Amino acid sequence: MTCFDRRMASRLTLGLGLSLVLGGLSPALADRTVTDQIGREVTIPDTVGRAVVLQHQTLNIAVQLDAQGQIVGVLDEWQKQLGPGFARLAPGIEDLGTPGGLTSVNIEELLALDPDVVFVTNYAPAEMREQIESVGLPVVVISLLEVSPDEAVKQSPVVGGDEAAAYDAGFRNGVRLIAEVFGKAEAGEELIAAATESRALVAERLADVSDGDRVRAYMANPDLTTYGTGKYTGLMMAHAGARNVAAQSIQGYKQVTMEEILGWNPQVIFVQDRYPQVVDEIRSGAAWQPIDAVAAGRVWLMPEYAKAWGYPMPEAMALGELWMAKALYPERFEDIDMDARADDYYRRFYRAPYQP
């Protein structure tokens, strides 16, 4: 008998047992229904003690909600997506099962973990969601963005109207949903409050910086990929007083050409903490030398908390936007001790000290 067969037999036996014990009562009394971020109603157990998380953003948030003890499986690329340093913040993660990733799953490996619920990303293929649901496992989709249902399932959704409002609402709703599934509602509200409290400070100190005076910035990823409009990264840069040069011509996360970057001629180049090799490639690469940021030595590796991803993360909002604003306009934030703020945040939500 395969693992799949054993799991299905176990579920059938359990269902029969519940029916006999409860008599005429509906088994649904032991369940609850949540609405995920692509608008699907999902029935999940009242108590979730075994979750598989196949999205790094949800995994990062769940750890900050102190829900790691309820996670039995994670995406196979967690180290690539979150960086090797994440293991320090989530002790024991290296021992968890890895039954799939952002866009695929191994059903037998998933079933062997006996999960109560499976989290996936909004752009996980419909076939992947259906494959998981077909074996009786509830699937909760997280996007951290509020858009129409037809856009919600795309990796680079088009945000109509107010992009900042769509991400703010999506972030709050996403954190609340993850917290609700894990039974961590109070922790979810605390995390949302901490993530959003420093934005007013940054906005106040940069209020007199006109659009024309904003620093031209570029977010460098491997293989000349970057973020344009429709991604949180651009909003992060905007909140910090930068002008994302890639927003002029690209939507979402895409590969660009060296000619385009030369034409944009950014004054500052940011590189995410998880891609340190890109800093050396830019600083030593002959093609990059004419760019103002390289000539001025303003190619900066971001700290681990400044997660300039396509989706907003709590520490990126609480700390990353402030760090970026201080890097761009140091004279306006001389009184801000970023290491001290980061240490306070890490001790509160990761239950570990910050290590610069």
Whether residue 277 is found in the same domain as residue 147: no
Q: How does pLDDT run across 133-151, given as a tens digit for each residue?
A: 999 999 999 999 999 888 9
Contact indicator for 176, 185 with CB cutoff of 8 Å: yes
Residue 346 clears pLDDT 50, i.e. is over it: yes
Alpha helices in the chain, H assignment, sequence order: 3-22, 56-64, 78-82, 86-89, 107-112, 126-133, 149-152, 163-182, 185-196, 199-205, 232-239, 258-264, 276-284, 292-295, 314-315, 321-328, 338-345
Whether residue 39 is found in the same domain as residue 177: yes
Whether residue 168 is found in the same domain as residue 297: no
Whether residue 136 is found in the same domain as residue 163: yes
Q: Which of 75-89, 117-131, 132-146 has the lowest mean pLDDT?
A: 75-89
Q: How does pLDDT run across 246-284, given as a tens digit for each residue?
A: 998 888 899 999 999 999 999 999 999 989 999 999 999
Type of residue at 201: L
Whether residue 151 is found in the same domain as residue 225: no
Q: How many independent structural domains does the chain possess? A: 2
Whether residue 20 is found in the same domain as residue 141: yes
Q: Of 186, 215, 231, which residue is a domain's last?
A: 186
Q: How does pLDDT run across 199-211, given as a tens digit for each residue?
A: 999 999 999 999 9
For all residues of the chain together, what is the average pLDDT?
Answer: 91
Here the CATH number for the domain that contains residue 72 is 3.40.50.1980
Whether residue 75 is found in the same domain as residue 205: no
pTM strictly above 0.85: yes
More confident residue, 22 or 266: 266
Residue 51 clears pLDDT 90, i.e. is over it: yes
| 3-class SS of residue 253 | strand
Q: Of 127, 155, 186, which residue is a domain's last?
A: 186
Domain that holds residue 303: 201-350
